[in-house]
Structure 1
Amino acid sequence: MSYFLGIDAGGSNCRARLIAADGTVIGTGQGGTANARIGLEPLYATLRAVSDQSIAEAGLARDQVAAIRAGMGIAGISRPGVRDALADFAFPFASVAYETDAFIANLGAHGGADGAILILGTGSIAQVRVEGRDFTIGGYGFPISDEGSGAALGLSAMRHALRALDGRTRATPLSRAVTERFGHDTARAIAWMDAASPKDYGSFAPLVMDHAEADDAIARSIVEDAVQHIERFIETIFERGATRCALLGGLAPRMQPWLRARTVAGLSAPMGDALDGALLLAGYGRTAR
């Protein structure tokens, strides 16, 4: 009997789902950050940990573990040298297939068929499959890319807030809420920015959305600028040949009401999640090409 293991290893957390050949979920796993940027040894340790969690929950024997076919979507594996290094990862499985986390999210969203996703989270990226050909749009990394993302919203909020402290623009509830985190002290804000990660900037995104929905002028301008980027992302996805597009990511539900009605009408609901895509990558059901 075959078993299939899907892993979604992203910048915030790592999830695993183990199923039997009939699709029954028999084990799950959960871990912390697991993208390639954390280093290969910590990445491998996290992948093994969530795999072991799911196997322990399923109660599989050693010979059953050897029958597992695994599919793993890992953030950051497009970085030079990472894919080659993955070949040295030792797993006691029948097979392991690796792809990016965006790749498996797109597989899951469209059941392995052609389609596209636009992921709006801490960062942003579009993953597209057209006639079996897979490619990405954007997603080059913060701050040069990630338009319309949580990190981009946070960066804009910091810029506006510091200008308000200088008196170059009028303070609003959003700018005051942002600078309050630093005691309204420009020097403290600059010190924070020296070490801030995209995730740190993204922590301001809910604040920006809250104030935009409350009609704060600065917050609205930030969100409206982000919407222009998102609209153009979606237009490009269809121009590049996609027939379906789903909006994914933690920021997507809050951004969707700001999009034009005709844009929303062209979007499709996802058929499944990234773990469904990882299982397709592993070989369950329709084999991913």
Structure 2
Amino acid sequence: MNYYLGVDGGGSKTLAVVADGTGRIAGKGMGGCGNHQLGASRAEASIRQAVEEALGQAGLGREHIACASFGLAGADREADFRILRPMIGAMGFKKHHIACDTVIAMRAGTRQRDGVVLICGSGTNGYGVNAAGEEVQIGGFGYEFGDFGGGADLAVEVFRTVVRSWEGREKPTSLTPLTLDALRFSSVEEMFHRFLDEGRRAPHTLAKLLFQAAPVDEAARKILERQGMELGKVASAVIQKLNMGNDAFDVVLAGSVLTRGEREYVVPYIESQVLAAAPNGRLRILDLEPAAGAVLIAMDDSGVVPGTAVYEQLQQELAVKERNMEWALD
């Protein structure tokens, strides 16, 4: 029987899984940070640790792996792949595939090889691949390079909204008491001066306050609406660049901002733009570990067409058990 290795290397942890052709998981392994941009040697050690643990648990050697697929945070540009190709190549698999972790998130969220994914966790990212195999990535490099949103930007919006309200430039907002409580200040004035004096920045955890305030607060709803509109623009741009307007495919939503229970404040603004660009597009919440997508890509690259039973087996073994409050994809 052939086996497939799927690796999800993120900024905080790395997960490796070995699956057989039925989707049954034979072994799992964990490592630390798998993003080479945060330290190449550290990432390599983390990835190797996860891989060795997964192989060891499965009782298999590299020779048993038909294809190894690595979805790695930071694998965005050719400059990144010049570092990653020799790193992954040295791990000794007869066949391997390297992609951004955004790519495996998309594959984990759909039962097709083509589709679109929107990431909104600590930051934002968008990616798509059409039926012809053409790919495009939009975003992932921060506000200066055209992005808006994710936990980091949304936290800044919360903080500045509270400051503007205190100064009288905006209406009173329920974000004020929530923020003061979260940061443990008794007044906005105290918070304002402490942040300036100490060179502090708004912690990304403030982003979750938007969802707490949204039911009663217009300012919070407007920020979340902007997030949805911006992500909708990303999806529309991907669809247009890949000429997918007449295709039927899934738009996979991943990252904590999009997978929380209070999706009604963001997702409708994405959906309206997706349907305008591609009437047959369908929004789906990612409910599998991205490592499952890496396994599926390994199967794809081996010429295997996963059947319904494979997807159902992976769903049983690698379903996301719970949504945490971390504002990151990892």
For Structure 1 versus Structure 2, the TM-score category normalised by the shorter chain is 0.7 to 0.9
Relative to structure 1, the CA distance from residue 151 to residue 93 in structure 2 (aligned partners, 3 Å threshold; closer, same or farther) is same
Structure 1's unaligned 5+ residue stretches are none
Structure 2's unaligned 5+ residue stretches are 276-280, 306-330
For residues 82-140 of structure 1, give each alpha carbon's deviation from its aligned partner in whole angstroms, at most 9, with x where no partner exists. Answer: 31222332314333321111122223333452211111211111111122101112222
CA contact 1:114–1:132 (8 Å) conserved in 2: yes
Cα distance, 1:278 vs structure 2: 1.1
Q: Which residue of 2 aligns with 1:247?
A: 253
CA contact 1:29–1:54 (8 Å) conserved in 2: yes
What is the one-letter code of the residue matched to 1:93? F
Cα distance, 1:192 vs structure 2: 6.7
Pair 1:13 & 2:13 matched: yes
**Identity percentage over the alignment?**
26
Q: How many residues are treated as equivalent by the alignment?
A: 280
Q: Which residue of 2 aligns with 1:218?
A: 219
Secondary structure in structure 1 of the residue aligned to 2:140: coil
Pair 1:134 & 2:135 matched: yes
Secondary structure in structure 2 of the residue aligned to 1:99: strand
Pairing of 1:136-285 with structure 2 (within 5 A): 136-142=137-143, 144-180=145-181, 181=183, 183=185, 184=188, 185-190=191-196, 194=200, 200-201=203-204, 203-213=205-215, 215-240=216-241, 241-242=243-244, 243=247, 244=249, 245-254=251-260, 256-258=263-265, 259-260=268-269, 262=272, 266-269=281-284, 273-283=289-299
Once residues 237 and 39 of structure 1 are traced to their aligned partners in structure 2, the CA distance between those partners, rounded to angstroms, is: 30
Relative to structure 1, the CA distance from residue 174 to residue 236 in structure 2 (aligned partners, 3 Å threshold; closer, same or farther) is same
Q: Which residue of 2 aligns with 1:86?
A: 84
Once residues 293 and 13 of structure 2 are traced to their aligned partners in structure 1, the CA distance between those partners, rounded to angstroms, is: 17
Once residues 192 and 3 of structure 1 are traced to their aligned partners in structure 2, the CA distance between those partners, rounded to angstroms, is: 53
CA contact 2:116–2:235 (8 Å) conserved in 1: no
CA contact 1:256–1:264 (8 Å) conserved in 2: no
What is the one-letter code of the residue matched to 2:206? F
Secondary structure in structure 1 of the residue aligned to 2:97: strand
**Which deviates further from its counterpart, 87-96 or 279-288?**
279-288
Relative to structure 1, the CA distance from residue 3 to residue 230 in structure 2 (aligned partners, 3 Å threshold; closer, same or farther) is same
Once residues 182 and 191 of structure 1 are traced to their aligned partners in structure 2, the CA distance between those partners, rounded to angstroms, is: 16
Once residues 18 and 129 of structure 2 are traced to their aligned partners in structure 1, the CA distance between those partners, rounded to angstroms, is: 25
Relative to structure 1, the CA distance from residue 271 to residue 155 in structure 2 (aligned partners, 3 Å threshold; closer, same or farther) is closer
What is the one-letter code of the residue matched to 1:153? L
What is the one-letter code of the residue matched to 1:88? P
Secondary structure in structure 1 of the residue aligned to 2:293: helix
Secondary structure in structure 2 of the residue aligned to 1:267: strand
Once residues 138 and 80 of structure 2 are traced to their aligned partners in structure 1, the CA distance between those partners, rounded to angstroms, is: 20
Once residues 165 and 144 of structure 1 are traced to their aligned partners in structure 2, the CA distance between those partners, rounded to angstroms, is: 30
Q: Which residue of 1 aligns with 2:323?
A: none
What is the one-letter code of the residue matched to 2:210? V
Relative to structure 1, the CA distance from residue 283 to residue 267 in structure 2 (aligned partners, 3 Å threshold; closer, same or farther) is closer
CA RMSD for the aligned pairs? 2.9
Cα distance, 1:44 vs structure 2: 0.4
CA contact 1:110–1:272 (8 Å) conserved in 2: no
Once residues 175 and 96 of structure 2 are traced to their aligned partners in structure 1, the CA distance between those partners, rounded to angstroms, is: 47
Once residues 192 and 33 of structure 1 are traced to their aligned partners in structure 2, the CA distance between those partners, rounded to angstroms, is: 29
